[in-house]
A = this chain, B = another copy of it.
Amino acid sequence: MKPMTIGRLSNSAKVKVTTIRYYESIGLMGTPDRSASGQRLYASADVERLSFVRHARELGFSMDAIKDLIGLQTEPDQDCSAVDTIAQKQLAEVQKRLAQLEALERELKRMIENCRGGKVGGCQVMAAINDHSECETDKHERLKPL
């Protein structure tokens, strides 16, 4: 069980060094031991914890949700429905976002198909952006960044 430096942890868990320090600063990673010269020292359990965070991020969970999940992980005797709830919420958000993006895709395709070339002045794409009146995306809330 020899401790590893932050760089090795970074390689093992595939999370950048700077990001690890950031996670520490927001309380996701606890405060690691330090060597005599002040370098952070990690154990293999930290690789797992950090990988867990990375996987959860890849699944689109927010930092807050991940904090909750980590909290639950440390109480293995609790009922697992809290975990299920968080995952369900995440799925619902993904599906909502999917619906928005599908509407967007239809809209963009429609715009592009109507474009027959020519000058900007008569461009149907421009016209479509300008006259958005009967567009379904209008009904949705503001789109999060792509």
Contacts and interface: CB of A to CB of B under 8 A. Distances in A.
Interface of A: 48, 51-52, 55-60, 62, 69, 72-73, 75-84, 87-88, 90-91, 93-95, 97-98, 101-102, 104-105, 107-109, 111-112, 115, 117-123, 125-126, 129-130, 132, 135, 137-138, 140, 142-146
Q: Which of A93, A101, A144: most chain B Cβ within 10 A?
A: A101
Please classify the interface of chain A as helix (H, G, I), strand (E, B), loop, or mixed, using the class held by over half of its residues. Answer: helix
Nearest to A140: B58
B83 A123 contact: yes
B59 A137 contact: yes
A117 to B, nearest CB: 6
A98 B121 CA distance: 32
Contact of A112 (B87, B126, B129, B144): B87
A125 B83 contact: yes
A121 B84 CA distance: 13
B91 A112 contact: yes
A52 to B, nearest CB: 6
A120 B78 contact: yes
Nearest to A102: B98
